Amino acid sequence: MIYFDYNATAPVMREAREAWLNVTEKIGGNPSSMHQFGSRAAIVLADSREKLAAYLGCSPADLIWTSGATEANNMVMHHFARKLGPTGEVWISAIEHPCVFDSAQHYFGKRAKLIPITTDGVVDVDWITTEMADTRPGLVSVMAANNETGIIQPWREIQAICKAYGVPFFTDAVQFIGKMPCSGLGECDYVSGAAHKFGGPRGVGFLKIPHRSQITPLLFGGKQENGRRAGTENVAIIASMMAALEVREKQISRSEHLLRKLWRDNFEHQFLRTLPGASIIGLNQPRLWNTVAAIMPDGDRKHQWVIRLDKAGFAVSTGSACTTGKEEPSHVLSAMGFKAALAVRSVRYSAGWETTEADWDALIAALGKVHAEAQHGKA
């Protein structure tokens, strides 16, 4: 079975497993304990925080460990709901992940205004500039890269606009971190990330908050994380996450992702030749090097492709893993202006650092075969 669903989750890399085992076996203490076991755990935690801060370009004190990005993203919306009160308004891009989208809807309802998306799948920066001249929201939230399309969003530009107007800016960088360099993300007021998208374990992530500021906790009952998130820190999975990020940052610094982008681009070229009537979403936009979001040929619904490819030995997805199973058009494609009939034909192929050129070649061969069989079946 060849795995093409890395945007849903990635396999845990060897270095991350070893780091987890090492801390689990050698560092048994609770980082809040006063004895030597506790101090050793606290040192691992502090080292991890320093490492992450250096990658992002922020202070270690700005970082809170969480159970993943869903928690971090909910924490941001919960915090702003408290901070802004009953009249406060937030702007979120129309293509945010459900854990930002639904959380904003929950806390703000109609006061969560959607930032439109261009037909190219990019957040409309002109809309932000024009609107901001009139109104200042309490928060702007735009993800760094979209999980369904892989399209990289102009987060640096939006961060600079927000900074100029004194509006806090939040970016969900879950899909960006570990595929693209982290540097500069620390400039954003709030940033979230999750280890399982870049080869770390599931169930761990972080939230970066503005320097020296406080955040309204979601969880109470302990003074961990400077009173910002109660609960004993899971030191081993945090160290494991950082081991994975270290490997990814090294690979990125050696430009190893550029070769992988080439393989993906070659695949797309062949894909369009092999499957008449198919198209690739955001083909000419800056995209993550691992993602292909495609509209499959007419007449074939996406679930049929996912099932047929699964039988042929390839794990692909219908879009966001969290919305898999529902035959509704994705909110991302709807925001881009895709009609439902077209949007339900979308299939996502997302590779990872471990994916080889031969894997892409095998996928194209399987797609050709599956398509031919489907055409034959119809005749």
Site residues (CB under 6 A) for ligand PLP?
68-70, 97, 99, 143, 147, 172, 174-175, 194, 205, 321-322
Work out whether the CA dihedral 345, 362, 198, 176 comes out positive or negative: negative
Output 182 or 275, the one with its CB closest to ligand PLP: 182
Buried b (16+ CB within 10 A) or exposed e, 187-207: bbbbbbbbbbbbbbbeebbbb
Output 17 or 202, the one with its CB closest to ligand PLP: 202
Output 198 or 275, the one with its CB closest to ligand PLP: 198
As measured in angstroms, the least distance from the Cβ of 366 to ligand PLP is 25
Q: Which residue is nearest to ligand PLP (CB)?
A: 68
Residue 98 CB partners (closer than 8 Å, separation 6+): 320, 322, 323
CB burial of residue 57 (10 Å; 0-12, 13-18, 19+): middle
Q: How many residues does the chain have?
A: 379
Output 275 or 351, the one with its CB closest to ligand PLP: 351
As measured in angstroms, the least distance from the Cβ of 81 to ligand PLP is 19
Question: Crossing angle of helices 357-378/256-274, nearest 10°?
Answer: 20
As measured in angstroms, the least distance from the Cβ of 178 to ligand PLP is 12
- Residue from 99, 162, 182, 322 carrying the catalytic annotation: 322
Pairing of strands 139-141, 291-295: unpaired
58 a catalytic residue:
no
As measured in angstroms, the least distance from the Cβ of 235 to ligand PLP is 18
As measured in angstroms, the least distance from the Cβ of 321 to ligand PLP is 6
Output 5 or 189, the one with its CB closest to ligand PLP: 5
- For 159-173, what is the HEC assignment? HHHHHHHCCCEEEEC
Three-class DSSP category at 145:
strand
Residues annotated as catalytic (active site), given as ranges: 322
